[in-house]
Copies of this chain bind each other. A is one copy, B any other.
Amino acid sequence: MNIDRTKKVVGVDLGGTTFTVGVMDFEGNVLSRLDTDTPVEDGPNAVMNKIVEYIDMAIVKAGLTGKDILGVGLGAPGILDVDKGINIFSPNLKWHNVDMVSPIKNRFNVPVFIENDVRVAALGERRFGAGKGKKYMIFIALGTGIGSGIIINGELFRGSIGGGGEIGHMVIDSNGPKCNCGNYGCFEALAAGPSMVARAEKAIKSGLETKIFELADRDISKITPALIYKAAKMGDKVALDVFRETSYYLGLGLVTLTTVFNPECIIVGGGIAKSWDILMPPAIQMVKTRSFPGSRDVVEIIPAELGDSAGMIGACVLVMEKLEKGISAS
């Protein structure tokens, strides 16, 4: 299919709290961007209507009209049927079987594509961020959980029913703590944000003195990974211990990923990755010494470049890549 590359695409990064809409050209320029609250409590119709409204506004803000738009991409949390354009189940959005495509298609009459939010972020980083030109790449989002988008031989890896890449639930410690998923010792139970907070809480409850507690106004419920990082930067011993333990488990997970996937690079993003200077060097050291020979020598572990734009940009890239392959939308 011949694509008119002077035209533009729209990307939507839908989260349970906020969503972002952006308009991009094929060179990677973001022509407009809007951020707003997701009205989850008003139900799926209200959310989809607001998305349509904001797409309209983003197109106008970019000085364009609907005729300039080749397609719309949506990145969303949850289990998606990307062929049918349905969000089967999303705890964050409180959605069951929501049609994410028709409301947008009906309004703009262009192809509409949906994909898991972390996977579209991986597409964004690969085309316009830290993973340019990579054919074997893993993008990791380190936050409340640990998600991934995996590129294999240049293609997004989805698995047989779209469950591929759930790296947060790899077992890395058979005696590890219980995870939200019901299993024990999962990667995200040991290396995501809540595990850091739990380590800090445990230290405080055991009576250890730490700046973390002061920074949290002596309210244990106010502890966040960002506060722990702040304390660690001040040289606080407890905070540094929290990071040491978190880096260790993060490193173990990265060792397994490097060994199993033999990627050219692992791109690490998400809120927790902002603590890169303390969190990542020990984890990278583990990868470089404990992963399988060969694979450990080639892998680069690098920070994401697109920040909180990765999802919106990736949703735009989803459209570009589908159209470039001549794939028609659902």
Q: Is the CB of B259 within 8 A of A169?
A: yes
Candidates B160, B165, B169, B181; contact of A263 at CB < 8 Å: B160
Q: Which residue of B lies closest to A158 (CB)?
A: B262
Once bound together, how far apart are the Cα atoms of A135 and B157, in whole Å? Answer: 12
Cβ distance A179 to chain B, nearest Cβ, rounded Å: 10
Which one of A158, A248, A294 has the greatest number of beta carbons of chain B within 10 Å? A294
Q: Is the CB of A164 within 8 A of B255?
A: no
Q: Please tell me if A172 contacts chain B, counting CB pairs below 8 Å.
A: yes
CB neighbours (8 Å) of A182 from chain B are: 290
Q: Please tell me if A256 contacts chain B, counting CB pairs below 8 Å.
A: yes
Can you tell how many copies of this chain the complex includes? 2
Candidates B161, B248, B262; contact of A162 at CB < 8 Å: B262
Once bound together, how far apart are the Cα atoms of A262 and B259, in whole Å? Answer: 18
Q: A160-B136, A160-B298, A249-B174 are in contact. Are A260 and B165 (CB under 8 A)?
A: yes
Candidates B79, B159, B174; contact of A261 at CB < 8 Å: B159
Q: Is the CB of B171 within 8 A of A262?
A: no
4 closest residue pairs by CB, A with B: A159-B262, A163-B262, A136-B160, A163-B295
17 other contacts beyond A161-B262, A161-B298, A164-B295, with CB at 8 A cut-off? A135-B160, A136-B160, A153-B155, A159-B262, A161-B294, A163-B295, A164-B260, A165-B262, A169-B259, A170-B170, A170-B260, A171-B290, A172-B172, A173-B173, A173-B174, A183-B290, A183-B291
